[in-house]
Amino acid sequence: MKKIVIACDSYKGCLSSSEVARAAAEGVAEVYPDCEIVRLAVADGGEGTVDALVDTLGGHLEWAEVSDPLGRPVKAVYGVAGDLAIIESAAACGLTLLTKEERNPLITTTRGLGELILAAIDKGCRRFLIGLGGSATNDGGMGMISAGGFLERARGLSFTVACDVDTPYIGKNGASRVFGPQKGASEEDVEVLEERLRGYALKILADTGIDVSNMEGAGAAGGLGGAFRAYLGAELRRGVDMILDQIGFDEVIEGADLVITGEGCSDYQTLKGKTAAGVLERARRMGIPVALVSGAIRDEQMLLKGGFHIIEAVSPQGMSLAEAMRPETAKHNIYETVKRLLLNE
């Protein structure tokens, strides 16, 4: 083989996407020492997006002190590459910032996300990639736009938002009813949240002339999708497509003999817009076979029918999860698995 592209998501809780790619590249080099190996850190707009894009685009990390979902100060990280800011909304308003007992979407706010965007503007950023997901909030984006001077400073800048759900702002399939309970809302709370979002939708319509009520994706992250679209003209996109376009994936894989992708655990949900599925779609369009190399594999036949050329689990049968999740063990397992699959090709 003359050219192999490695584009793996992180192995959550174990290795970053860059670490996975490095281990896989060592396996490729062992079998094909003269092969051109291209390593790409990729993600789907959720956890790991900042690290992946900063690595691939040659950017750097910045930190800003912002409000957490309950208004307390928290240090939030974001990425900068030129005038591009890469932000995970969960860094400011994510569920992981709260204990289970603190979860309460009646009082949580997205204000910290607005503060984080303002901090990036202060650093000279004019283009923004925002990953939505894992939010503790259901405030319709009202907290974000309330951050001091937010709309005045953010309007006219370029926003692309990773939005992997088609949830509308309100209604039986809207943000409050679908995601409210996951964020700590009782049945009674959900009805209160729904009425609030109904009022916010009317405010957004009055402010912008845009009706987000039934807009696909407007309910993402408790209504943040709708606020971004209406107030900032943001493009709402599937996360993996946003990432792959940003790194010029189609151009990078041109002429490749094989693309290797993977994630911590692959199953039927992988085919529903996760990183590996996005990589597969792009590569298949260009007639390039794709190997799926993941920590664990479930639903193998479904994944094969989905189009993956090779499917390999890197964790040997019988190895405990605790041992498989050790970073050095995982790196070795990836190296050995990639080496073995190439030798058997």
pTM summary value: 0.86
- Provide the pLDDT for residue 234: 96
Which stretches does DSSP call E strand in 82-168? Answer: 84-88, 127-131, 158-162
Question: In sequence order, which residues have a C-beta less than 8 Å from that of residue 209 and are 6 or more positions away?
Answer: none
Q: Classify 30 as helix, strand or coil.
A: helix
Cα 268 to chain centroid, rounded: 18
Estimate the crossing angle of helix 239-246 against helix 49-57, to 10 degrees: 10
- Provide the pLDDT for residue 12: 86
Nearest-angstrom CA–CA distance, 151 and 118? 10
H/E stretch holding 66: strand 60-67
Task: Give the pLDDT of the chain (345 residues) as one tens digit per residue.
Answer: 899 999 999 998 899 999 999 999 999 999 999 999 999 999 888 888 999 899 899 999 999 999 999 999 999 999 999 999 999 999 999 999 999 999 999 999 999 999 999 999 999 999 999 999 889 999 999 999 999 999 999 999 999 999 877 899 999 999 999 999 999 999 999 999 999 999 999 999 999 999 999 999 999 999 999 999 999 999 999 889 999 999 999 999 999 999 999 999 999 989 988 899 999 999 999 999 999 999 999 999 999 999 999 999 999 999 999 999 999 999 999 999 999 999 987
What are all long-range contacts of 307-314, with beta carbons under 8 Å and residues at least 24 apart? 307/280, 308/280, 309/258, 310/341, 310/345, 311/266, 312/337, 312/340, 312/341, 313/337, 314/262
